[in-house]
Structure 1
Amino acid sequence: MSTTPDPISNPADPWLDEFSRPGMGEGLTSTEKRRPGRPKGKLGAVLTDLTDRVTLEDFSFVRALLNGIEPAKAFKQYYAYRYFDNEGHGVVPHGLSLHAHGRQLMRVIMKSALASGDDLIKMMAQRLAAVDLVAAASGKPKAEPPERRVPSMNEWMESHHIDPDFYAEMELTQLYSDFLDEYRAEHGIEAKPGDINKREVQEAVQAQIQALNLLQNRLTSSPMPEQPVITWLERRLAQALEELGVLTMRDLIDFISQTGRNWRNKIKGLGPVRAERLADWLESNHATLGSIIREGDRWKPRQPLRSGLVPLGEYADGTKPLLLIEEEGTGVMVVADQKGPKLRQGIAPLELMLVPPHLDGTVGLFRSSGLNQYGARNDLQVIRIWLKSYLSAGKLATFDAYRREIERFYLWCLNEAVIPLSSVSLSHAQAYQAFLKAIPAKYITTERVTRDDPLWRPFRGQLDAKSQRYAIGVISHFFSDAVMNGYLTGNPFTLVKAEAVLSRDMDNSRSLNKEDLRWLRQALDDHLASTPPAPDTGFDLEGALRRRLNLIFHIGLSTGLRRSEITSSTVSSLAPASYNGIPTEDEWMLEVIGKGKKIRTIPIGEALRQMILAHHEDVRRMLHEVGDSAAARLAEFEKRPPLICALRAPVGHKSALVDDDAAMANDNLALGDNGLYKVVKSFFVGATKPVITQLERRRQTIEQQKKVVEQKMRSPVTEQKIAELVQERSRIQRELAVWVRRKDMTTHWMRHTFAMSVLRDNPNDAGLTMAQQLLGHASIATTQIYLKSDDTAKIRAIRNLKPFG
């Protein structure tokens, strides 16, 4: 009678030892202490920790370990749906020992196999636990004396630039075994009894794969529709769903489908990254749960919101009613002749702040004793005057950014520190810096509301280190101006040191290469060619939209203009170019006002100019189609014709065409910044999504075919088929990466492409200077960033290095 221990009740040590060998695990061991608090950048969990069942991801992790993949890399790949950081990237949880995780998986597999009562399952579990050649199959042979050591599989792959994803498991082992035979023969090394034997390795790998595949098919747990959400989802998330009446996994699918694109806003404590991970995990289990239905009005973007407020509380009739007066004999401040939304205390935007008299700064601790250049009597007046200076100068972007930061700080002064702004000291400044690192939930909202809405909040989420640094800089600038203009005696933020943040060069890979440009040209040609026939009567809106899209790409790639420059330029700024001092009719110069109100001129070819004029004819036909109700729009358009025009009224307007009543970004029908971005982005997404979907389905089909083949008896035919499927899967993944990159393209990619083209065609210093002028860079150092090569040249340079000759 055999005395071999039962691997079901006492799993064999050789398999488990693989997780405790040096270099096989990452994470903390049981002897290391866990640091208090959540690691930086770590988000809360989405799914519950399953300790009594094994999932498809668990088997994938075990298979990766047996194939010699680094545990941490395998964990991040297969458990990214469960453990991820604030950017959605997979992480190893703080305090988790991958050694222990592997051993726990084996125990659960063994327990499940024993509970199944199936003799075949038990036999497969025994085979998996008893195999003693796992180390050999994973490229980690037993140690040899230093003088007779042969390279491990990992060392061989690194030295020969072997891509493990390119080969099937059996093919990779075969290549490594052949290498060892040649290596020993060349160096006169005799194989020892303990060395890797090709036949034994093949048999061991085959046994492991057969065991894993069968166990995976029989023991894998998948979410089912009738299971409670607490079975699969993290406790707090499950409780939040149960409060909404979502009790089962089927309820969750129905809830998301019926709620629409903003479903996560209904679930307490669920941010965008965790929501995306949850939705992706549900979709990955559509075979058992069904798919999320993303159709209907609730999944369409909502109409643009329009606030009843105007900057700094000035109303359309020019009045400034937001003044506080004292009721006679009462000492109570009230609003005098207020129109529009009501002023309020607490969390409110600057336009609606009702500041208590004892906090208005009239007698602030650090107020100057004399008069001030602002002519202000309190803190809120200083803030408004300071912001109005940027608004009056036409610096709208600066105004919006500065208003956001000083508004947040003033709300903190009134509601958290409970002091006037003019009483802020260094300790208060440091307290606000700490506040920005962990903003309370009551100041944050993800609701899409206008500034006058009671649900408005100053923050849309926690700030990263770069945003915190910017906020402190803006507030310090405000205090410096207040000191310089005689309102305050000092700047408390002078000694506040901002935390250092990572600095990264411009990503030059975000430009279109030659293949991208060939694809884009063909896609635009196909887009124009697929335009439906123009209607016999009426304006051809569909054709005009497609011609405008073609024009946008030609302008972006031919001029390198920023998005804001495209939307703000007009045709009236076009003038004939001078070539060798002689005006020419074939080239034109466009005068552009760029950053900092700096003027530069950009060449425009005659063909591009004709495309612009043809686009303007489309605009005129549209306005004439509308008739008298668009007369004012037509007059403004003819007065200042923009480069790119809006051709459709906003969502919710009484008609698709633009009339005088349509709320447009610009009176002259210039397409706004957001509109231009959406047009380009929609094209990239629409042109790539069908291909991406097809490739994703093809990849899934190959995965299923591979699983079916792996379950069959091993033979040269099946091995060849698996190798072909793996090779095809790798090819699809590479192609998929190309299309996903194209889907992510935006308007700024065209500017990068233009810059790279100019520098490539003009490689000398004169070309660099010309690129600086065309791009409108204040410093040539910014232009030089485009000269930095991408990873291709760096890889080639490293490949050519021979450090040892």
Structure 2
Amino acid sequence: MLFFSSQLGDFSLHFIFPQRNQSLAEQMTRKSSERRKVGADHFAFYRAYLEGVEIDKAAERYLHFSPRDVRSIRSEFKWIRQTLTLAATRSGDRRSALLLGLGPIPVPAASGASAEASNEQTLETFAAEFDPEGVLSESDLIAYFEEAQRDRPVAADRRASGAKERLRVRQLAALRSLEVSLVDTPKLHHMIVGWLEPALAARLNAAQIYTLDDLVNRCNRDGHRWWTKIAGLGEKRATRVTSWLTGHSDSIGHVLSQRALVPRRQLQATTPEAFTRAPTASIAPLEALTVPASLDGSTGRNRAPIERKQIDANNDYAAIYSWLRDFEHKPHTWRAYRTQAERLLLWSIFARGKALSSLNTDDARAFRDFLLNPEPADVWVGPHGAERWSPAWRPFTGPLSASSCKMAIAAASSLCGWLTSQLYLASNPFRGVKVSSGTCPEPGGDRDPSDRSLSIGQWHFLINGAYSEEAAALSPTAFRDRFLLLLGCFGGLRVSEIASAKVQDLKHFEAADPTDVSLRWYLRVIGKGKKSRKVPLPTPLVDALRAYLLSRGYTGSLIALAASKDPIPLVGRLDGNDRAGLLSASTVGETYKRIFTQAARLLGDSEAAEDLRRASGHWLRHTHATHSIRLGTSPAHAKDNLGHASIATTSQYTHIEINERWEPMEKFARGMLPST
């Protein structure tokens, strides 16, 4: 067992959850299950301590602590000792409580003392040697002293050694006796607060993890880095958790999968099947879906004459993959369209009870309404970030927003329109299906990009506070997070462009001023539509890049690193394994989301915190555009830096007109107020 507590009173610590309309009996049952339990590993730790093993080594061996985690080890040791001595006292065995509280009893080896050595020993000398910390009361000390003096013919040191040995035997016997009555074993249904430190249990509870069953399932669902989705947990604590769960897998009866124990890149290289799902005829990702023969679309009502079809697909499943084949060279687009086609096919089969090629216009309208409220939620909605191989995966993570609904209908119409053009379908059921402008506004209507950019105050809070240079120095993760913020804001790059950037994409050029001998740098970026552009890198960003590369072990100059043959990702993996390849765009996007979420948590319950929780990596691109133009960059230059196809897109970030109209409105409002 590995966890610790700072309790000073009752060893059966209670950690009370918020009550949820429970009956008194349910509350009492729950309180009983929430008491901090004592396991066999606690007794093994304390037995080692009594036998003279240093507590840091005993904690490492039996409780999975790091020897450097001194404060936590001391806290856990204190809790265990108080728990055991209090349990012995409550059972009426005060002598055992005193024995267990004594700590290790040193028993010196028998010495060859000369005959001249004194056979006499005073109570004071016995107390100084036997109870140097003064734990025993005077009456108990006298009783032990008299017991030690019974064998008069034996030399004094031999008598003391024998007495201590007898006491040590009694001490270990008391521990064994207490273990029989007190030790508990973890079970799958146990509340985690019964086994984990209260502060740790609170963090897990906040992530909707209440029982050991919940904890094991979460680890198996999210894989080796499951802890990254739980605020305040950290890798060290997570490692102790998984070590403890693994050590108690027999009693829990539910083991951690290899996905939870081995880093994904290592496991995927050796066991790729660990990241696939077995075929199933229930709701599942496309690659694991087995479509019922009666609903596979081979005889769909909206099928065009089979002899006229222009694709080899004989069913709806194959037809979808035929459509997706045109987007294989655009992986982001391919994944987005696969998601929309997947949702349509799953809804058609499991909610509508029809083959996709049997859908009509009424079905298309019903699908539109379903997107805004996918019910029942326990069937269709799953946790955000669940891997496609996970049993927790669902087609949705919640109702779609208005704009996402519009995009989904557009994708469904594109799919069915293409299948109609290939004479697989007789008609497109989504053609003419309208999405209410009240719920799904036209993209780019009155949506102001500045609504999705950081204010100067928010930016300063991030870069000078939550992710300051001092904070970044605390860990490799914090160091990378700060660089990602600088890169996203100062470079104005898309998340996908950041993920694909390499050090070899850096190029240098001379300053326009012939007296300036310093080099300037830009990053060659391949953006949307495979269009190449040059993004100038300001000096603060280049300095941050040099420091970041040095922290990853790249000691050469930037010129030498940019000219090296081995590809170096601009943003590296936390384990330093750059040879594993570039990070995915989704990983970079999730990292940005974590950065903003953690920063929002520091702001507490406020509107500013709520705004940061909405932020994503793309917000930094909007922040770059908004504030670079505000600080003097011409819209034409900003257009080239951002890779916009039209100056009209860049012009959305200028606010000249609204500023001109603000002054008269201010004057009007002041004129309407009574003078003071």
Question: What TM-score bracket applies, with the shorter chain setting the length?
Answer: 0.5 to 0.7
Question: Residue type matched to 1:558 in 2?
Answer: F
Per the alignment, residue 413 of structure 2 pairs with 476
Cα deviation, residue 516, structure 1: 5.5
Per the alignment, residue 631 of structure 1 pairs with none
Distance 2:364 2:593 in 1: 41
- Judged with a 3 Å threshold, the aligned counterparts in structure 2 of structure 1 residues 244 and 398 are, in CA distance, closer, same or farther, namely farther
Per the alignment, residue 569 of structure 1 pairs with 501
Distance 1:421 1:671 in 2: 36
Cα deviation, residue 780, structure 1: 2.6
The reply to whether residue 604 of structure 1 matches residue 523 of structure 2 is no
Per the alignment, residue 47 of structure 1 pairs with none
- Judged with a 3 Å threshold, the aligned counterparts in structure 2 of structure 1 residues 340 and 751 are, in CA distance, closer, same or farther, namely closer
Deviations 1:17-56 (A, max 9, x none): xxxxxxxxxxxxxxxxxxxxxxxxxxxxxxxxxxxxxxxx
TM-score normalised by structure 2 residue count: 0.53
SS at 1:478 equivalent: helix
The reply to whether residue 658 of structure 1 matches residue 577 of structure 2 is yes
For 1:763-782, list aligned pairs within 5 A. 767-782=634-649
Number of positions where the alignment pairs a residue of Structure 1 with one of Structure 2: 447
Per the alignment, residue 154 of structure 2 pairs with none
- Judged with a 3 Å threshold, the aligned counterparts in structure 2 of structure 1 residues 519 and 450 are, in CA distance, closer, same or farther, namely closer
- Stretches of structure 1 that go unaligned for 5 or more consecutive residues are 1-224, 269-291, 322-338, 533-541, 624-633, 650-656, 661-666, 697-735
Distance 1:752 1:510 in 2: 7
Per the alignment, residue 215 of structure 2 pairs with none
Q: Which moved more, 1:352-361 or 1:508-517?
A: 508-517
For 1:531-546, list aligned pairs within 5 A. 531=473, 542=475
SS at 1:508 equivalent: helix
Per the alignment, residue 400 of structure 2 pairs with 463
SS at 1:756 equivalent: helix
Distance 2:400 2:261 in 1: 25
The reply to whether residue 404 of structure 1 matches residue 331 of structure 2 is no
Per the alignment, residue 26 of structure 1 pairs with none
- Judged with a 3 Å threshold, the aligned counterparts in structure 2 of structure 1 residues 793 and 262 are, in CA distance, closer, same or farther, namely farther
- Judged with a 3 Å threshold, the aligned counterparts in structure 2 of structure 1 residues 359 and 254 are, in CA distance, closer, same or farther, namely same
SS at 1:782 equivalent: helix
**Equivalent residues of 1:345, 1:353 under 8 A apart:** yes
SS at 2:534 equivalent: strand
Per the alignment, residue 750 of structure 1 pairs with 620
Corresponding residue to 1:506 among 426, 430, 448: 448
Q: Superposition RMSD on alpha carbons, in Å? A: 5.4
Deviations 1:226-265 (A, max 9, x none): 9997xx74x5xx4899599547999999699747536675
Distance 1:385 1:364 in 2: 17
Deviations 1:420-439 (A, max 9, x none): 22222223223333433452
Corresponding residue to 2:204 among 214, 238, 261: 261
Per the alignment, residue 552 of structure 2 pairs with 619
- Judged with a 3 Å threshold, the aligned counterparts in structure 2 of structure 1 residues 605 and 408 are, in CA distance, closer, same or farther, namely closer
For 1:333-482, list aligned pairs within 5 A. 341-369=277-305, 370-390=307-327, 392-393=328-329, 395-436=330-371, 437-440=373-376, 441-446=378-383, 449-482=386-419
Distance 1:299 1:502 in 2: 47
The reply to whether residue 639 of structure 1 matches residue 639 of structure 2 is no
**Equivalent residues of 1:258, 1:298 under 8 A apart:** no
**Equivalent residues of 1:439, 1:462 under 8 A apart:** no
The reply to whether residue 488 of structure 1 matches residue 415 of structure 2 is no
Cα deviation, residue 361, structure 1: 2.0
The reply to whether residue 798 of structure 1 matches residue 665 of structure 2 is yes
**Equivalent residues of 2:592, 2:616 under 8 A apart:** yes
Question: Residue type matched to 2:324 in 1?
Answer: L
Identity %: 26
Cα deviation, residue 478, structure 1: 0.4
Distance 1:774 1:442 in 2: 45
TM-score normalised by structure 1 residue count: 0.46
Cα deviation, residue 451, structure 1: 2.6
Question: Residue type matched to 1:658 in 2?
Answer: N
Cα deviation, residue 505, structure 1: 1.5
Deviations 1:352-400 (A, max 9, x none): 222233322222222222343322122111112212332x21x222222
Cα deviation, residue 593, structure 1: 1.5
- Judged with a 3 Å threshold, the aligned counterparts in structure 2 of structure 1 residues 264 and 307 are, in CA distance, closer, same or farther, namely closer
The reply to whether residue 595 of structure 1 matches residue 514 of structure 2 is no
Deviations 1:133-173 (A, max 9, x none): xxxxxxxxxxxxxxxxxxxxxxxxxxxxxxxxxxxxxxxxx
- Stretches of structure 2 that go unaligned for 5 or more consecutive residues are 1-13, 36-190, 212-230, 243-255
SS at 1:407 equivalent: helix
Per the alignment, residue 84 of structure 2 pairs with none
The reply to whether residue 527 of structure 1 matches residue 469 of structure 2 is yes
**Equivalent residues of 1:410, 1:421 under 8 A apart:** yes
Per the alignment, residue 39 of structure 1 pairs with none
Cα deviation, residue 482, structure 1: 0.3
Deviations 1:625-681 (A, max 9, x none): xxxxxxxxx9999432232222x23xxxxxxx5387xxxxxx33x444455456666
Distance 1:635 1:572 in 2: 4
**Equivalent residues of 2:471, 2:478 under 8 A apart:** no
**Equivalent residues of 2:203, 2:233 under 8 A apart:** yes
